[in-house]
A and B are shown apart, each in its own frame.
Chain A
Amino acid sequence: MGKYLLRRLAINVILVVIASSLAYMLAATTMNPRAAYQGRQPPVPEAVIDKTLDAYNLNDKTPVLQRYATWATGVVTGDFGKTWNGASVNDELGRRMFVSLRLLILGTLLGFAIGVALGAYSAVKQYKFGDRLIGVGSFVLMAIPVFVLATLLAIATYNLNRGLGFTLIEYTGEYNPKLSGFDQFLNRLNHLILPTISLSIGGSGAAFYSRIQRNMMLDVLGQDFVRTAMAKGLRRRTALMKHALRTALIPSATYFAFSVGTVFTGAIFTEKIYNWHGMGAWLVDSINANDVNSVAAVTAFTAVCILFASLLSDLLVAALDPRVRVS
């Protein structure tokens, strides 16, 4: 087991190195951080721009391989370099990943819990009214892309607040910095309401989980061991909960583990639309700002998160399913 994990770790490290190098090269060759300085009023002398860009290792006059070498040396020592305007990428990363975590964790959890419950219910009541209702609901929700859903929710809240004459539900930003203590905590929760709804019910939340959970559950329901459990004298309900659901939970749990593993990488649309300054928003902003080092850092970080997430979901399968455990 130990040897296996080490090998896997080695492969993953190589993957991350290749992925982030690729991203760096791509960004460094196609993006133009100089643009941000050239357009300034009053104009900045070229020598000054060069000097600034050199300091940030962003000068397009330096050969790309040389910039890459500088960047890579930094990364090996744990320094992702500077943003286009000289801030530390590391600091930015450290701040933003926790913003994303605070934004996502609740929605991810809720989406999974609601989805599994609905899916299991749906399977047990196959073709009954409840099943159909859940089915139609999840289909519609899955067809609504998150940027449409989030915008719709924002519009609705805007109109609601206007109708009420005061702000019942916040729809932009993470918190109100003017408040403090418990008030601020409440305010933070209020700011979470909309993003959480849009994250938890949409195509990657409850709607998605309810579909896979229903399918898995239906597969399991037809199997002999549920019949055995009832032949032993368990009630149908108990047999379903204790034997069928427990077994059918394995696949959805692995998806869940995967999405928990990637909460730090953020949710691009939700963050942009509700104005949270997390990782997802950074991704878009850094591309728009021609911010080469940030782009490379986001890529490296995402790759690490994805690999970590898939390891996490593999471990969870092993924990839940004795059949794949190495004895």
Chain B
Amino acid sequence: MSILEVKDLTVTFPGGVQAVRGVSYEVERGEVLGIVGESGSGKSVTSLAIMGLLQQNSVVSGSVKLHGQELIGMKEDELVKVRGKSISMIFQDPLSAFTPVYTIGDQIAEAVRIHQKVNKDKAAKRAVELLDLVGIPHPDVRAKAFPHEFSGGMRQRAMIAMAIANDPDLLICDEPTTALDVTIQAQVLEVLKTAQQETGAGIVMITHDLGVIAGMADRVLVMYAGKPVEQGSVDDIYYRPRMPYTMGLLASIPRIDGEEGALVPIEGNPPSPASLPPGCPFAPRCPMKVDMCDEQEPPLVPSGAGRHVACIRAQEIEHKGLTGADVFPVPVIPPSDVVRVPRAERPTVLELDSMIRHYPLMKGAVFKRRVGTVHAVDGISFDIAEGETLALVGESGCGKTTTLQQIMQLAPPQGGRVVVLGKDSSTMDAATRKALRKDLQIVFQDPMAALDPRMPVGDIIAEPLRAHGRKDVEARVAELLELVGLAPEYAERYPQQFSGGQRQRIGIARALALEPKLIVLDEPVSALDVSIQAGVINLLEELKNTLGLSYLFVAHDLAVVRHLADRVAVMYLGKIAEIGTVQSVYDHPAHPYTQALLSAIPLPDPELERNRKRILLEGDLPSPADPPSGCRFRTRCPKFARLSADEQRRCVDEEPSIARLASAVDHGAACHYAEEVEVITASDDQEEK
């Protein structure tokens, strides 16, 4: 019998907005149900409704049965016996999910004592056991730490420990790894699997990441605009999607094992729940739309073998065996002229030579004082040739943002050199610096924060033009808007009136205003939903080719990098671990860190995920204020652990520098024992090609 049975669940917020419009599903013991959807699809609201944790003024209807017992409308006295006992929940952002003023141990012990009759000491001991179970080192000491003293990954582990404290039958995980880095995500997913084995619970896994779902879920529910649009076993959904939205979603994700070239974008934006289209909610964006689609919303109908689809053309899709790439138009991106010239003969637009940037480390908000030095960037070198994209990748805290800021400031670095378009930043005067700003522009990560909310879009784009005394501003603004695929009339609107993807396009237009030669892209797509992301990536690629731009692309998403970049530099703790062409680094990573990083990335492919062997890294990133001696990666290096004591000594004493690998022209790694390994198995469709 299923543990949880949800039927026709709807949630209406005050003001009459329906955030969830009829969700039904079941979860069985030991089963993992994945719920995917983009932001605003209602996936998180659904789970809060099940727990009865929505704001008191929202109206929930339908039925939620736990072991046959109805939860909707249950009295609080009864409900508190279920919450945290039979159903537990893991939230997305574990920093805000823990009360900041109590220790982690106390909060877990509290969860124990709510449902079990044990004394304080016993509960505290149990909390330590639980922390141990989820792999927190020195659990007895760490239990006394406050939430802000834990790293993101550790907090999420503690959250899992708290969720399984009372042996729940069902775990609801709401984007449990979204806020985490990939290598930490891999660790946490592993812990979740352990937790499931330990408790035998069913899991509802809510996420926007199709890779995570592919590796975890048995069955998948796809949500769009507050409603499930497709449901079925994970293999069915991934290999035989029958609803154009699912098809588009799967086709639009960039893959680390994928080809370069244009991605499949889904045009338009998800509808706002306040103003849904009359028929199929996906109709405005659907390339297969026919007139009938506008008449009435297609219901979710069973179509054999536990599958449900909400599309009137599902049958046809099945018969013809259509995929996302068949249905959605793929833009053709013109090739670049610049790259025909061999790289060595092209001018260098940016050169970094052993650049260093250290910060004072401050502590305390009230009692501020310096307690050390952060070695944010500790001697990195790379160069970018004209018409080339170099990606700087690494997890948070690796120093990539600092590098970027140092370049943008055009100020003398603390050590080493920064040379932009042949001009050394440490010797240039103010006039040169200002002139150089024309050629060096930036696109920021958060499209909302990058645009001044109080300025109309036209003024935002015109700002650099005016600052550099350009005439003919209005015509240029219109031209730029068109260039990034927006209507010139938009110049009069304010940033708040645009969706994330559109805002990012505005940011790109502003960066292009002065016809720069080099654009720094700071995580330009990481704040966007998958279906929007593809369009922006395509735009960037196209602009680069048609305008002959060079990009420095800073990112943590290695799949996006594979699509956009020509060369890639992997950073770890303020140093470059590996650098080379995208093909060599992705297909034959030689540094143990790159290998772990690539292997940690989940693939949106259930079959591959099931058979994949991950290289899991131990622990967290060491503090950049106190980096390890010798090789900075040695504290977590899986290879180091396998070396003999003699070999290990070299890693401890001697800092490896980047050595070119024999097998490739443009590929180097900073490891004494570099050795190329394949960690991504080529996917089936790629082999067929």
Contacts and interface: CB of A to CB of B under 8 A. Distances in A.
Given A225-B97, A228-B91, A232-B83, A324 B111 contact: no
B19 interface: no
Contacts of A322: 100-101, 146, 148
A230 B364 contact: no
A76 interface: no
A233 B115 contact: yes
Interface in A223-260: 223-225, 227-236, 243, 246-247, 250
Contact of B83 (A231, A314, A320): A231
A225 B114 contact: no
A1 B115 CA distance: 42
A323 B365 contact: yes
B369 interface: yes
B99 A247 contact: yes
Interface in B94-131: 96-102, 110-111, 114-115
B291 interface: no
Interface residues of B, number: 36
A235 B85 contact: no
Given A225-B97, A322-B101, A317 B366 contact: yes
B84 interface: yes
B96 A223 contact: yes
How many of chain A's residues touch chain B, expressed as a range?
Answer: 20 to 34
Contact of B162 (A232, A314, A320): A232
A225 B364 contact: no
Contacts of B538: none
Nearest to B364: A326
Contact of A236 (B76, B81, B93, B369): B76
Nearest to B89: A231
A327 B48 CA distance: 36
Given A231-B84, A235-B76, A225 B98 contact: yes
B519 interface: no
B53 interface: yes
A325 interface: yes
Contact of A318 (B51, B80, B89, B366): B366
A182 interface: no
Interface of B (DSSP majority class): mixed
Nearest to B51: A231
B93 A224 contact: yes
B174 to A, nearest CB: 10
Contacts of B149: 327
Contacts of A250: 101
B97 A326 contact: no
A127 to B, nearest CB: 9
A326 B100 contact: no
B100 A323 contact: yes
B365 A225 contact: no
B393 to A, nearest CB: 30
A233 B81 contact: yes
A321 interface: yes
B93 to A, nearest CB: 7
A325 B99 contact: no
B367 A243 contact: no
A232 B111 contact: yes
A242 to B, nearest CB: 8
Cβ-closest 9 pairs across A and B:
A233-B84, A232-B84, A324-B365, A224-B96, A322-B146, A225-B99, A224-B97, A326-B364, A232-B111
Given A323-B148, A325-B364, 18 more contacts: A225-B98, A225-B99, A227-B91, A228-B91, A231-B89, A232-B110, A233-B111, A233-B115, A234-B114, A235-B80, A236-B76, A246-B99, A246-B101, A314-B367, A321-B100, A322-B100, A324-B364, A327-B149
19 contacts: A224-B96, A225-B99, A227-B48, A228-B99, A231-B89, A232-B114, A233-B114, A234-B80, A234-B110, A235-B76, A246-B99, A247-B100, A247-B101, A318-B366, A318-B367, A320-B101, A323-B146, A324-B365, A326-B369
Interface of A: 1, 3-4, 223-225, 227-236, 243, 246-247, 250, 314, 317-318, 320-327
